[in-house]
Amino acid sequence: MATFNHQDGHHVETDGARIYYEEQGDRHGPALVFLHGGFGDIETFNAITPQLGKRWRLIGIDSRGQGKSTLGGAALSYKRLQQDVEAVIRHLGLDRVSIIGHSDGGIAALRLAASRTVGVDKLVTIGAHWALGADDPTRDMYAGITAEIWREMFPHSYDSYQKLNPEPDFERLTAALQSLWLDSGEDGYPNEAVRDITAALLVVRGDEDPLVSRANAVELADRVPGAKLLNIPFADHSTHEDQPGWLLPVLDAFLHDR
């Protein structure tokens, strides 16, 4: 069964950090990269990887400072996350990939696809902002997050981090992620650069997502020619974990559509 386990992987050293990646699935299939959300790791995709691994070469990347990847000394930004992904793809010698990115991972993937520094065939974003306006209420939610609040609300996330990370410092990680989320500069959200995306795009949103509004998801889909939009009922911010049974048939159809 193709699942990420944090036992079969390797590290790539880039820009002051050691980035962990792991391969599962059909090693002879086309490459499908998984980029997780904030405070997460690649194992958060394990509800959907067994089916996808039957046809795809699955490549999971722990984002900088999370999972088994170290944070390094440089400031965290979506541009830096994008560059880390590029470093792993180059290390593996891949010319083209498809990507499934959740939340922060989806935002980094949007930047990557828009930059065209790597050939991206298919891109699936799940609960990912393309932009975060000054009046977006999500900003207040991000600004109010502390390490203590996260530990209390998501103890499993905290425990996984403490277990996996080679240099655990949860307070420092929380501050770095909060700065990442609130960054309005050019190293942050892709904003109108998403119009440069030529990859096939599927925008996925859970209908009960408290962070990414329906309007934000529609705006993203409207900016990329041919993009598909999937709004799944009874799903929260992590649709791939909340409703994998509803998501997987659409992923199969989208990823295998030529």
Per residue in 24-71, pLDDT tens? 999 999 999 999 999 999 999 999 999 999 999 999 999 999 999 999
Q: How confident is the model at residue 257 (pLDDT cuts 50, 70, 90)?
A: confident
DSSP state of 65: T
Q: How confident is the model at residue 258 (pLDDT cuts 50, 70, 90)?
A: low
Contact 59, 35 (CB under 8 A): no
pLDDT of residue 195: 98
CA 125 to chain centre: 8
pLDDT of residue 254: 98
Task: Please report, for the chain, how many H helices and E strands are present, in that order.
Answer: 10, 8
- pLDDT, tens digit, 9 for 90 and up, residues 179-212: 999 999 999 999 999 999 999 999 999 999 999 9
pLDDT of residue 184: 95
Region 138-144: mean pLDDT is: 97
What is the sign, positive or negative, of the torsion defined by CA atoms of 217, 221, 227, 228? Answer: positive
Q: Is 135 exposed, middle or buried (0-12, 13-18, 19+ CB in 10 A)?
A: exposed
Question: 49 is written with which tokens?
Answer: 């990887």
Three-state DSSP at 249 gives helix
Three-state DSSP at 143 gives helix
What is the sign, positive or negative, of the torsion defined by CA atoms of 156, 62, 19, 138? Answer: negative
Angle at 160 between CA 1 and CA 48, to 5 degrees: 30
pLDDT of residue 214: 98
How does DSSP assign 74-109, residue by residue?
A: SPP-HHHHHHHHHHHHHHTT-SEEEEEEETHHHHHH
pLDDT of residue 1: 86
Count CA within 13 A, CB hemisphere, residue 143: 8
Q: How confident is the model at residue 148 (pLDDT cuts 50, 70, 90)?
A: very high
Mean pLDDT of the chain: 97
Q: What percent of the chain lies above the pLDDT cut of 70? A: 100
Contact 233, 207 (CB under 8 A): yes
Contact 34, 61 (CB under 8 A): yes
pLDDT of residue 132: 98
DSSP H/E element including 123: strand 119-126
- pLDDT, tens digit, 9 for 90 and up, residues 77-134: 999 999 999 999 999 999 999 999 999 999 999 999 999 999 999 999 999 999 999 9
On whether the pTM is more than 0.95, the answer is yes
Q: Which residues pair with 208 in a beta bridge?
A: none
* CA proximity to 53, closest of 69, 67, 66, 42: 42
Domains of the chain with CATH codes:
10-256 (3.40.50.1820)
Measured distance CA(175)–CA(71) in Å, rounded: 12
